[in-house]
């Protein structure tokens, strides 16, 4: 009897252990829903979804920058005593950045596309092309002979792989938007979603837009279901399947890339430091001075000892050194990739040209409010919806033109794009994370963020709020004939140039001394003006895992 009871208990224990192991075993939800258990992608219907995790493709020209924490704003030398940098601990998400600065050749491709799609010979399109052309007169100097650069730098093939200059912050943003659409247009064509060479068979008002395709694919390419090529009609946008619920590629397919954009100041500085390749304690604590290792601008390696590591101004009247061995190889800008990259594989993060970043300039960084992906400059918008309930797509008659403070007229959107409008109370009501569309002034001028807040007479920002900074207010208007009415601010009591229309630029240039090569240094410039020493490069957000390898293996 005792044996039978022991055997029964042992049998029950084994069964219970087996059930417990079975319950704890991880189930494979590859073909079924973790939420409901229902089978996915069934022929009979149900939820259609590709459960395979897809790695984000690296866009053309980009390299991967794995995010992390670093000390932002820690300059090693401060002879200028600007007091516009306070060291703050920040964390940056992983992202992608252009391997080099945007070159003349890359920008010429943009201009060529605009010229073909919106011929400047047509009065209706003239301002689109003219507003995108860089200001080549930035090379002129009252007491210098630089006409060779004025006439040749942008277009001569000898300068094709040199960084583009004379581009304002606004023009850099528009280039980034154009680049996004062209890259995703190629992705769709390569995958057979759009007809081959459809981009060559559209009218000016029917250009491809990524956001239009994602939000209203039937309106892409002007809403034409077919294009005519060689006397035969073919679909401009192919349907993925005969299932009417799954006609077009969406974000869930993982094919389309996030937008190209200007990097934030935090991203740029983090990428320039290139901390990923070093495991030195002092470097991690913010002691690194340049994008390369060491405290000097000349190489200490045996094979290249004494060579300059960047293109910058050596001293008064010395832009490259003595010709020969000691020369840095450039008197103005240098061809991209002329110097070694940093540990992220990024070239010219110090010297050559300074670079626009996305941020509106302020002398302080409000890390008490946010220390994750810090950025000042958010202006939230949404898609404009017509009375028919559909999104409004920009046409030739609805292009938004801006007259800049210098009188230049630019197009802020192109036909084929979705018209954007500011967010309203429908999006902001009872929210705690944002309360209005334009957040450039957030915690900057209100009583909660300044002990010494004061308004300047009756000056107001464009949104009707009091201005924090007593900066000039320039008004330039263009009449129906294109003549400019320039109303300069003649007030004598202005005390600063800082306002919501000035942007940060980072990195030293060919005109700067080595002091500015420190990635933490920061300066500002009006967003609608350009120089011969500021260029730019694009960035792209990373979706998915922080690391390209996914979860790090444990030792």
Q: pLDDT per residue over 340-397, tens digit each? A: 999 999 999 999 999 999 999 998 888 888 999 999 999 999 999 988 888 999 888 8
Q: What is the mean pLDDT of residues 19-39?
A: 67
* Domain residue spans of the chain: 54-166+259-377+513-548
Query: Which distant-in-sequence residues (6+ apart) come within 8 Å of 88 by Cβ?
Result: 71, 72, 73, 365, 367, 371, 374
CB atoms within 10 A of CB 162: 24
Give strand pairing partners of 542. Answer: none
Radius of gyration of the chain (CA): 28
pLDDT at 465: 53
Higher pLDDT, 251 or 53: 251
User: Which token pair is 48?
Assistant: 């259609």
Query: Which distant-in-sequence residues (6+ apart) come within 8 Å of 307 by Cβ?
Result: 298, 299
CB atoms within 10 A of CB 346: 21
Q: What is the dotted CATH code of the domain comprising 54-166+259-377+513-548?
A: 3.90.1580.10
CB atoms within 10 A of CB 57: 13
Question: Which CA distances in Å does 143 have to 146, 147, 330?
Answer: 9, 12, 21
The pTM for the full model equals 0.87
Cα–Cα dist 59/469, whole Å = 39
Given a cut of 70, is residue 3 above it in pLDDT? no
Q: Are strands 88-92 and 68-72 parallel, antiparallel or unpaired?
A: antiparallel
Cα–Cα dist 132/111, whole Å = 7
Cα–Cα dist 106/232, whole Å = 34
- Residue 139 DSSP symbol: G
Cα–Cα dist 37/232, whole Å = 48
pLDDT at 253: 82
User: Which token pair is 166?
Assistant: 């004379």
């Amino acid at each position: 009897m005792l044996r039978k009871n022991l055997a029964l208990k042992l049998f029950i224990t084994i069964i219970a252990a087996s059930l417990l192991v079975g319950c704890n075993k991880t189930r494979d939800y590859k073909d079924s829903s973790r939420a409901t258990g229902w089978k996915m992608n069934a022929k009979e219907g149900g939820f259609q979804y590709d459960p395979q995790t897809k790695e984000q493709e690296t866009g053309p020209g980009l390299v991967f920058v794995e995010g992390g924490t670093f000390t932002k704003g820690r300059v090693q030398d401060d002879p200028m005593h600007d007091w516009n940098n306070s060291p703050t601990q920040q964390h940056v998400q992983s992202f992608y950045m252009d391997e080099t600065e945007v070159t003349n050749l890359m920008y010429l491709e943009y201009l060529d596309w605009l010229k073909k799609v919106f011929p400047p010979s047509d009065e209706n399109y003239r301002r689109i092309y003219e507003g995108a052309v860089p200001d080549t007169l930035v090379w002129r100097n009252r007491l210098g002979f630089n006409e060779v650069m004025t006439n040749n730098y942008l277009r001569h093939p000898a300068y094709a792989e040199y960084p583009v200059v004379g581009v304002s912050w606004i023009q850099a943003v528009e280039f980034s938007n154009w680049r996004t659409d062209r890259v995703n247009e190629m992705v769709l064509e390569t995958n057979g979603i759009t007809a081959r060479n459809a981009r060559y068979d559209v009218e000016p008002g029917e250009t491809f837009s990524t956001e239009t395709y994602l939000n209203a694919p039937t309106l892409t390419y002007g809403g034409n279901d077919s294009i005519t090529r060689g006397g035969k009609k073919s679909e401009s946008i192919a349907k993925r399947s005969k299932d009417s619920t799954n006609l077009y590629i969406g974000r869930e397919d993982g094919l389309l890339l996030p937008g190209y954009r200007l990097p934030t100041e935090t991203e740029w500085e983090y990428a320039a430091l290139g901390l990923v390749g070093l495991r030195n304690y002092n470097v991690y604590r913010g002691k690194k001075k340049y994008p390369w290792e060491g405290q000097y601008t000349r190489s200490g390696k045996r094979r290249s000892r004494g060579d300059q590591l960047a293109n910058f101004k050596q001293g008064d009247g010395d832009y490259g050194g003595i010709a020969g061995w000691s020369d840095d190889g450039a008197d103005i800008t240098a061809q991209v990739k002329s110097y070694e990259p940093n540990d992220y594989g990024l070239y010219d993060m110090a010297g050559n040209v300074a670079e626009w970043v996305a941020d509106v300039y302020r002398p302080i960084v409000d890390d008490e409010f946010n220390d994750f992906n810090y950025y000042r400059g958010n202006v939230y918008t949404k898609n404009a919806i017509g009375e028919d309930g559909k999104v409004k797509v920009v046409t030739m008659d609805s292009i938004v033109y801006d007259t800049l403070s210098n009188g230049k007229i630019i197009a802020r959107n192109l036909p084929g794009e979705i018209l954007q409008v500011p967010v309203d109370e429908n999006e902001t009501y009872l929210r705690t994370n944002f309360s209005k569309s334009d957040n450039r002034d957030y915690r900057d001028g209100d009583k909660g963020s300044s002990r010494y807040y004061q308004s300047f007479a009756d000056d107001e920002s464009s949104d009707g709020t009091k201005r924090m900074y007593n900066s000039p207010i320039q008004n330039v208007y263009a009449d129906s004939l294109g003549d400019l009415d320039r109303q300069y601010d003649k007030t004598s009591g202005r005390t600063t140039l800082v306002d919501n229309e000035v942007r940060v630029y980072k990195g030293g240039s060919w005109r700067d001394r080595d002091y500015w090569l420190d990635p933490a240094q920061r300066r500002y410039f009006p967003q609608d003006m350009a120089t011969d020493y500021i260029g730019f490069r694009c960035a792209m957000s990373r979706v998915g895992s922080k690391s390209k390898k996914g979860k790090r293996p444990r030792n």
